[in-house]
Amino acid sequence: MDRRSFLKNTSAATLAALAAGAPIPALLTGCNRKAGTNSTADTVILLWMAGGMAHTETFDPKRYTPFEKDMEGNRVLSTFKAVPTVLDDIRFSEGLESIGSVMDKGTLIRSYVAADMGHILHSRHQYHWHTCYEPPQTVAAPHLGSWIAKELGPKNPVIPAFVNIGQRFTVGEAEELKAFHTAGFLGNEFGPFLIPDPSQGLESVRPPVGMDAKRFERRNQLYNDLIAKGPAAEYTSDYQKESLRRSMEQAYMLLNSPESKAFDLSSEPKASYDIYNTGRFGLGCLLAKRLTEQGARFISVTTEYEPFKGWDTHENGHTRLKGMKEMIDRPVAQLIRDLDQSGHLDRTLIVLASEFSRDMMVEGRPDAKVQEQVNQPDILTDMKFYGMHRHFTDGCSMLMFGGGIKRGFVYGKTADERPCKTIENPVKIEQVHQTIYHALGIPPDTQYEVEKRPFYTTPDGKGEPVLDLLS
């Protein structure tokens, strides 16, 4: 499937979801269990390494081989040295020393296996990771954060239950990214509150400069009138229209609340601000900390997906990852320390993940290779070829902290020689989602009737949590 087909199908599904009536809670949902009971977490923070974070270059280093001109690419498993962490016998890739120093507070998963969906597209795998459904679907699948917002509701009625920080939709595969940044059939009120730039977060929750409250109120009323008379009124269902109205009311309520100050990063003490300030991602972590303290339910902070940038290393992988590690290492570790010190980490589940991994020689996985998308020579004649440039789906690393997750624990294993694939305790995306839902107390059989068929949080309702990850 190419990008055009992906976009065509997901757009059709979105329109179908808007036209659909209210999703009906299935009779089996809950079975006398209420969401949120027997939970170990109240809040989730997803730290999204968009673009494909190589496991052998980050949290699962292998044999280090320094660059030499005209060296064989197959010799290279890791382009960084391994460095010790706070855990005995567990080493990370050089440049991640700060995160390594807090691993006694969380779990390292070394055996996440991404889905085999043929020709690899970032947008398709990101859609799959965030919704748990492989595209295309006849129904617009809700984002993980939307399911959580729907089932648990806001912790603080003023703070948006689902906040997405750091992703612009004016770069790269914009429409494909929008396809899964929605609540799907659940309705607009459960969709993400989008903050593309955390340094401008306060601008997202106050009227533009020079606009007084009365003028803003008139504009808000005009907007509601336009919605009532526009295509949304004609083509969307009553449920979706009401959901859109409620989402606007929630946003309007936030504008006039004292909690809106949480979005103002300039009020953070300078010493703390400077630790987090490694760029937009680092400041996103700072904003996530502040919103967690104010009662947000689900927060996603992304390094941002933009083709051929960030973790999307198609060349110059070694050099690029130096910068990426500098971007994430200090703020991720500080976020964990701050929430632990304030007592919020106990009830906040932090997940650091990526859509898939990377390798120098293998595209896809060893037993299911797909079309190669990178001109990676067997002999490395230039430094730009030194790095993990091909997509690899058979072994990925993931971190979890807080919210009932075991401390100082390692789960799964990958091979020490190429192909560095999962060889112990493989973890699939439905298991990741159900582990998160389990920690939040959301029943595994949660479902809604859409288009006269049940739609579960994970496909067919068969996903099971990885209980070994929970303390």
Single pTM value for the model: 0.88
Alpha-carbon distances of 301 from 34, 53, 280, rounded to whole Å: 29, 15, 9
Residues 20-71 pLDDT 10s: 555 666 544 444 456 767 899 999 999 999 999 999 999 999 999 999 999 9
d(CA 166, CA 297): 17
How many domains is the chain partitioned into structurally? 1
Alpha-carbon distances of 471 from 397, 401, 407, 409, 410, rounded to whole Å: 20, 11, 8, 10, 13
Residue 253 binned pLDDT confidence (cut-offs 50, 70, 90): low
User: Which amino acid is it at 129?
Assistant: W
Three-class secondary structure of residue 9 per DSSP: helix
Residues 426-442 pLDDT 10s: 999 999 999 999 999 99
Phi-psi region of 290 (alpha: psi -120 to 50; beta: other; left: phi over 0): alpha
Residues 106-150 pLDDT 10s: 999 999 999 998 888 899 999 999 999 998 888 889 999 999 999
Provide the pLDDT for residue 376. 92
Q: Which domain holds residue 392?
A: 3-469
Would the CA dihedral through 459, 189, 232, 452 be positive or negative?
positive
Burial class (CB in 10 A: 0-12, 13-18, 19+), 337: middle
* C-beta of residue 119 within 8 angstroms of C-beta of residue 137: no
Residue 236 binned pLDDT confidence (cut-offs 50, 70, 90): low
CA 424 to chain centre: 24
Percent pLDDT > 90 in the chain is 66
CATH number of the domain where residue 454 is located: 3.40.720.10
